[in-house]
Amino acid sequence: MAVRKRRRIQRRGVPTVWEVPDELWKRIAILFPIEEFRPTGGRPWTPPRRILDGVLYVLRTGCQWKAVPHEYGSGSTLHRRFQRWVELGIWEAIWRRLLQHYDDDVGIAWQWQSADASLHKAPLGGEKNRPQPDRPRQGRHQAPSSHRHRRHPPRRCPHCREPA
């Protein structure tokens, strides 16, 4: 059998972004909080650009935060700053700023937009407003599980045959 070599598919003229280019950084640097540019003590301070490169690395490779190369800083620091930037809305601000720059440079056809959706019943879902069983064996005609003992009929008094 012949061994096939996989080729990386790459668009012509569009390099893979592993680190934020200088031109891009100049456009978005203003969006990061000022206090992140001032080291206050404790652990060695990691600048926002390096953190952004580390977050891009995680997003491109899909690796865990703790598996990020040390050149980007601690995985815990990357994740903590990423979460803080999400809470502050920095990612949305970056997206808006870059979209605006792209619209100014290339142009976006805002008149034409598309949306895709699929609506259908869940394959195992119940009917609307139908009571759902709380326990897995609550149904009537279910077979008893093989790992449980069989249930015995209620004990009766040997003299009068009434339930005890």
List, for residues 90-133, the tens digit of each pLDDT value. Answer: 999 999 999 898 888 888 877 777 788 877 766 665 556 666 55
Q: Is the pLDDT of residue 8 over 80?
A: no
**Confidence at 1, pLDDT banded by 50, 70, 90:** very low
Q: How many CB atoms lie within 10 A of CB 116?
A: 4
Residue 137 to residue 103: CA distance in whole angstroms = 59
Indicate the pTM of the whole model.
0.56
